[in-house]
Amino acid sequence: MLNFLKILATPEFFFSIIRISAPILFATLAAIVVEKAGFANIGLEGLMMFSALSGSLVSYYAGSWFWGFLAALATGVLMSLLMGFFAFKLKTDIILVGIAVNMMGSGGTLFLCKVITNLTEGKAMASTTGLITKSLCIPDITIPLVNKIPFLGAVLSGHNLLTYLAFLFVLLTSIMLYKTSLGLNIRAVGENANAASSVGVSVLRIKYIAMAFSGLMSGFGGAFMSMAYAQGWSQDMVSGRGFIALAAQAMGGGECLGGMLSALVFGFAQALGIKFSAVGLDSNLASPIPYAVTIIGLVVFAVVRNNRIKKQHSAAALAKSAEK
């Protein structure tokens, strides 16, 4: 046990927590903003799959990670706008739109991958991992000076460009939501769409913007998956991160900082699972840890929230009776 704790207390372990949290964090921010606008986008998983594929393919054909990265972002945004069209214009239940995108994201990406690359190695499996080299991935960044600090330097420096962006976006999204008029409008639409509309806010436009933002974040997340986390795209590589992000959004109370902490908790759970299997635990027992932590986290959060609401109610009732 002590030995195991020693393994955990290494900078590599903390480094891996941050690395694993990054894609979940992107998706969590996406979930937070659409939730603020009053709806849920459960298609994050599928959006990330499509973005991951397009990023990987375009970087290969263009020969540069930058174009692939842009393609991943564009894919996320365009697809989310299409989702918005179905949800807002054709009045499809937004949950069902999400399910449809996830369905296509699983098998449809494999179809596109096979068709575009003409790779049909094996019967079911195809991936772009064979095409992608290190130079086609988004680069890692060593922060000067910081990397000289003992322990902390090894934890914080040397991450992927996108990992830093993920944490930067926590700040930016928070500022966007609370310090800009756009953020005010998004929150107003989510709080009460009719009231927002009555003071001249275009509800539809705000909803599309929130949707596009979630697509952009999914684009970042997808690009991270296929161009930083792994070298190249493979089937079902997002493996539930889009869903975990929905839980992280709920656990974080719908706020950016809380969402970030929740994403880190999931990152921790997954990093722990990887370490567990490294010391001999069956990987089939280690793999479900993040998913189980998600359910437990949701329950704990719900209990805490309900207690708080109860306390508030009883406090309010006491105050009322005292007045009398």
Binding stretches for other proteins (CB under 8 A)? 42, 86, 89-93, 95-97, 99-101, 103-104, 106-108, 110-111, 114-115, 120, 239-240, 243-244, 246-247, 250, 282, 284-285, 287-288, 291-292, 294-295, 298-299, 302-303, 306
Burial label for 136, CB within 10 Å (0-12, 13-18, 19+), is buried
Length of the chain: 324
Give the residue with the Cβ less far from other proteins, 85 or 164.
Answer: 85
CB of 5 to other proteins, least distance (A): 25
Nearer to other proteins, 92 or 129 (CB): 92
188 versus 247: smaller Cβ distance to other proteins: 247
CB of 13 to other proteins, least distance (A): 22
Cα separation, 227 vs 109, whole angstroms: 16
Q: What is the three-class DSSP state of 160?
A: strand
Q: Shortest approach of other proteins to residue 220 CB, angstroms?
A: 22
Q: Which is nearer to other proteins, 164 or 301 (CB)?
A: 301
Q: How far is the CB of 264 from other proteins (least distance, A)?
A: 18
Q: How far is the CB of 193 from other proteins (least distance, A)?
A: 17
Q: Burial code of 225-258, b = ≥16 C-beta within 10 A, e = fewer? A: bbbbbbbbbbbebbeebbbbbbbbbbbbeeebeb
What does the alpha-carbon distance between residue 186 and residue 212 come to, in Å, rounded to a whole number? 13
Judge whether 134 and 60 are in contact, CB under 8 Å: no
Which of 114/187 has CB closer to other proteins?
A: 114
